[in-house]
Amino acid sequence: MFSSLTVILIVTLYMAVLFAIAQMVERRISHRGEGFKGPWIYALSLAVYHTSWTFYGSVGFAASAGLQYLGVYLGAMLGIACWWIILKRMVHAKETFHITSIADFISTRYNRSEAIAALVTVMALFGILPYIALQLKALTGSFQLITEQQSSAVNGDISGLLITLFMIAFTIMFGMRRLDPTERHQGMMTALAVECLVKLVAFIAVGCFVSFSLFNGFDDITEQLFEQGFERVIQVSGTADSGVMWLTLIVLSFAAIQNLPRMFHVAVVENADIKHIKTAIWVLPLYMILINLFVVPIAAGGLLMGLPEASADFYVLLLPQLANNNILTMLAFIGGFSAATGMIIITTMTLSTMAANHLLVPIIERVAICRCIKPYLLQLRWLLAGVILLSSYGFSIEFSDAYILVAIGLISFVAVLQFSPALLGGLFWRRGNSAGAFAGLLAGFLMWVYTLLIPAFIEHGWLDSRILQEGLLGLSVLRPEALFGLEHLGSIPHSVVWTLLVNISFYILGSLLYSPHKVERSLSTEFLSAMHPVPFRQARPTGLDRYIPLSDKLNEAQTLLEGYLSSEKAKAALTQMTEDLQVSRKSHIAIIELLEFHRMLEHTLAGSIGSASAHKAVESNIRYNERESADLKALYKHLVTELNQHPEDAQQTHATGMQNYGLINSLQNKVKKYEHIIGLQDKRIAGLTSKLEARDKDIFRYRLETQKVRLENETLKREVDVALNIDPPSDTT
């Protein structure tokens, strides 16, 4: 065993090394303008998918259910195999709309709906808190196992609280030092990649020790398993409903690899190059294979060594400790610590960003008395991070004996599964709209609460157990774990079936029954088009007279930005925008340049408060004078006319309230729509040209063949005449 002080010093030193690596990368970026942008850093950081659930929980799962734990990784591999289609589209959309989180992504797809963004955020908070609690529980449990505190509940609670406070500090240090979450954290990503390598090395080291030091290889372990009656560890299925559970695990992990907030952040927001996805598609599955290679030997080793099955989640620590191998025990602890902390830091950072952007910012905007705290959004995120982690710690204490690690993780997986219909439907189904997305998300979330959360509360004694036995209102068909007579599935498969069925049904019906406004249809078209970008960059808008004072617009924009950013950050952003527009040395700008300036302003602000809130803030705070407003309308009508559209379309747009700044979206949508049409026409013309060239070649070849046949006929005719001694006819006059 180690003393508590020794473990704390080693952990602090380890995190200091990681922080130094992150700082080195950040300094390299700031001084040289470059960082570790290679695909390997990106691919390895995606292994944050493997948390303490993998490092500890997989062994516990294998000890009780055999090879069934592999379903969690088979589904994830299937999801990764689809990344070049799914993830590539999400990254393209992120670049266009300055997406900050999965809530921002889904809400932007559905008309920048603040209600959808808030609902996704609430679902993520309720669904992921148990998962964070799982990590804290694993950290606390492993800390107690290798120190002298496992016999004291009071000391255990104190150590758990200290670990939670450490996690709050680490989260702020690594991922929350800047306000803009769309700025890629290359230092944090590099440190995360190092953590992923450490946990892989630690797990393989323990696996090799168990397999070849405690036992004489895999054959010896297998033989002893059968001798002692533990053959279930290497069986694919042990119960009648194992096939249902396999399918459930595959479905859940397929969705989790796309939907978990931390996976979305690392895979989408932190993506520096679309080509890196190709490397991740094979590196991450290889990582999964390697880290699961010794799960069964470790689980078998713990059972064969007489360790209690109830402690199977911590066999990775207990087996080296049982052999008095202190170095390997500490390495295993650091590996589990890396697995848990990587998830905690990224998830807490992402959830606090979502909560600030989609729950707090809308309230601040609507309540006048709260607007004074707008400049302190970064500090609010720190506060939210603390609240999230402390709430998770409270959950881990309350439910410490209710579920093993795997069960807690599956509850969270079912929660994030509810994002799939709106997310995947938004990527591939054009008719999906905000009404269907909101209805599906809400229905799926309520069904998750009823089928999984309420039974957990009942088991914990918070609610009357008669609900579980007799059903809501005494109706047996409404039993939370046997809805409408669907029994004998198990709580997790039962919840997956009903939540997906309800979610998808409401999403499809809502989308079919609701007819979205023109603004939503235009934004949906723009969003879907952004996932298939053109291979060339569009030219910067120019034209019209430059009569708009640039200084006035800069002051207006600076006032808006300083409501959310520091003064230095706002000035730097405005300087960058004017340089990109090539108007930094001009005193006046044209109306087209003003439109582009405001579009860039919205994208800059979206990095801090989310796309939906940024659009609302710009639309509410940016003003146009009479001449500018008239020019915008005239320009819009002119473009509509030039594009052979009906002028009443423009009138309809104005009638729906899209005045002034709202014209920007309409203009951009029209331009992109007709660029798409022109591209299709160009392809059609190219196809017709190819056909014409092919026809010309056929005609030319036909003429050659005709001339050849004519010459052959004339030659043959002369030969026949010679053979018959017929003189050729002479010309007579």
- pLDDT tens digits, residue range 258-273? 999 999 999 998 888 8
- Which tokens is 406 given? 């795997």
Number of Cβ within a 10 Å radius of residue 115: 17
Q: Provide the pLDDT for residue 371.
A: 75
Q: What is the pLDDT of residues 297-310, one digit of tens each?
A: 999 998 988 888 88
Separation between Cα atoms, residue 316 and residue 403, nearest integer Å: 19
- Top pLDDT among 581 and 70 is at 70
Examine the fold and report which residue of 626, 645, 666 is the final residue of a domain before the chain moves on.
Answer: 666
Residue 164 belongs to some domain of the structure: yes
| Residue 28 pLDDT level (bands cut at 50, 70, 90) | confident
> What is the mean pLDDT of the segment spanning 334-349?
91
Q: Provide the pLDDT for residue 444.
A: 94
Q: Out of 240-249, 544-553, 658-667, which region has the weakest mean confidence (pLDDT)?
A: 658-667
Residue 451 belongs to some domain of the structure: no
- Please list, residue by residue across 372-398, b when 16 or more beta carbons sit within 10 angstroms of its beta carbon and e when fewer do: eebeebbebbbebbbbbbbebbebbbe
pLDDT tops 70 at residue 440: yes
Contact 315, 299 (CB under 8 A): yes
Q: Provide the pLDDT for residue 664.
A: 57
Residue 333 belongs to some domain of the structure: yes
Q: Provide the pLDDT for residue 580.
A: 82
**In which element (H, E) is residue 549 found?**
strand 548-549
- Top pLDDT among 72 and 626 is at 72
Closest CA to 260 of 79, 415, 54: 415
* DSSP tally for the chain: helices H, then strands E: 33, 4
Residue 655 belongs to some domain of the structure: yes
CA atoms within 13 A on the CB side of 64: 15
Q: Is the dihedral of CA 453, 455, 460, 463 positive or negative?
A: positive
| Residue 443 pLDDT level (bands cut at 50, 70, 90) | very high
Q: Phi then psi for 711, rounded to 5 degrees?
A: -65, -40
| Residue 732 pLDDT level (bands cut at 50, 70, 90) | very low
Residue 426 belongs to some domain of the structure: no
Q: Out of 76-80, 425-429, 462-466, 509-513, which region has the weakest mean confidence (pLDDT)?
A: 462-466
| Residue 339 pLDDT level (bands cut at 50, 70, 90) | very high
% of residues, the chain, pLDDT over 90: 26
- Top pLDDT among 382 and 471 is at 382
33: alpha, beta or left? (left if phi > 0; alpha if psi -120 to 50): left
pLDDT tops 80 at residue 105: yes
Distances, alpha carbon 145 to alpha carbons 133, 141, 142, 262, 342, in Å = 18, 6, 5, 28, 21
| Residue tagged 């991922």 (tokens) | 175
Closest CA to 628 of 572, 597, 590: 590
- Top pLDDT among 321 and 606 is at 321
pLDDT tops 90 at residue 453: no
Beta pairing class for 588-589 and 548-549: antiparallel
Q: What is the pLDDT of residues 387-396, one digit of tens each?
A: 999 998 888 8
pLDDT tops 90 at residue 647: no
Q: Provide the pLDDT for residue 47.
A: 92
> What is the mean pLDDT of the segment spanning 675-704?
80
Number of Cβ within a 10 Å radius of residue 214: 19
Beta pairing class for 588-589 and 478-479: unpaired
Examine the fold and report which residue of 666, 698, 728 is the final residue of a domain before the chain moves on.
Answer: 666
- Top pLDDT among 176 and 18 is at 18
Q: What is the pLDDT of residues 133-188, one digit of tens each?
A: 888 888 888 888 888 655 455 455 677 788 888 888 888 887 776 665 445 678 88
Distances, alpha carbon 538 to alpha carbons 580, 668, 672, 689, in Å = 13, 12, 10, 26
Q: Is 663 exposed, middle or buried (0-12, 13-18, 19+ CB in 10 A)?
A: buried
> What is the mean pLDDT of the segment spanning 591-607?
81
Examine the fold and report which residue of 614, 648, 666 is the final residue of a domain before the chain moves on.
Answer: 666
Most confident of 139-148, 329-338, 356-365, 704-713: 329-338
Quick one: 236 and 98 in the same domain? yes
Separation between Cα atoms, residue 372 and residue 364, nearest integer Å: 9
Q: Provide the pLDDT for residue 636.
A: 66
Domain that holds residue 211: 4-24+38-418
> What is the mean pLDDT of the segment spanning 453-478?
79
Q: Provide the pLDDT for residue 646.
A: 47
Packed helices 276-291 and 186-209: angle between N→C axes, nearest 10 degrees = 30
- Top pLDDT among 201 and 96 is at 201
Q: Provide the pLDDT for residue 380.
A: 87
Residue 481 belongs to some domain of the structure: no
| Dihedral of the alpha carbons of 645, 646, 647, 649, in degrees to the nearest 10 | -90
Closest CA to 533 of 111, 82, 90, 37: 90
- Top pLDDT among 315 and 694 is at 315
**Mean model confidence pLDDT for the chain:** 82
pLDDT tops 90 at residue 507: yes
Closest CA to 257 of 225, 230, 284: 284
Contact 128, 415 (CB under 8 A): yes
| Residue 282 pLDDT level (bands cut at 50, 70, 90) | very high
**In which element (H, E) is residue 405 found?**
helix 405-417
CA atoms within 13 A on the CB side of 488: 4
Q: Is the dihedral of CA 362, 365, 369, 371 positive or negative?
A: positive
Contacts of 332 (CB under 8 A, 6+ apart): 202, 203, 205, 206, 316, 317, 320
Structurally, how many domains does the chain consist of? 2
Q: Provide the pLDDT for residue 505.
A: 95
Q: What is the pLDDT of residues 671-688, one digit of tens each?
A: 667 777 887 887 888 888
Contact 647, 399 (CB under 8 A): no
Most confident of 129-138, 558-567, 659-668: 129-138
Q: What is the pLDDT of residues 508-566, one digit of tens each?
A: 999 999 888 877 887 887 788 777 765 544 433 434 577 788 888 888 888 888 888 77
Residue 720 belongs to some domain of the structure: no
The CATH number of the domain where 387 resides is what? 1.20.1730.10
Residue 584 belongs to some domain of the structure: yes
Q: Out of 6-20, 329-343, 422-436, 578-592, which region has the weakest mean confidence (pLDDT)?
A: 578-592
- Which tokens is 17 given? 């090394």
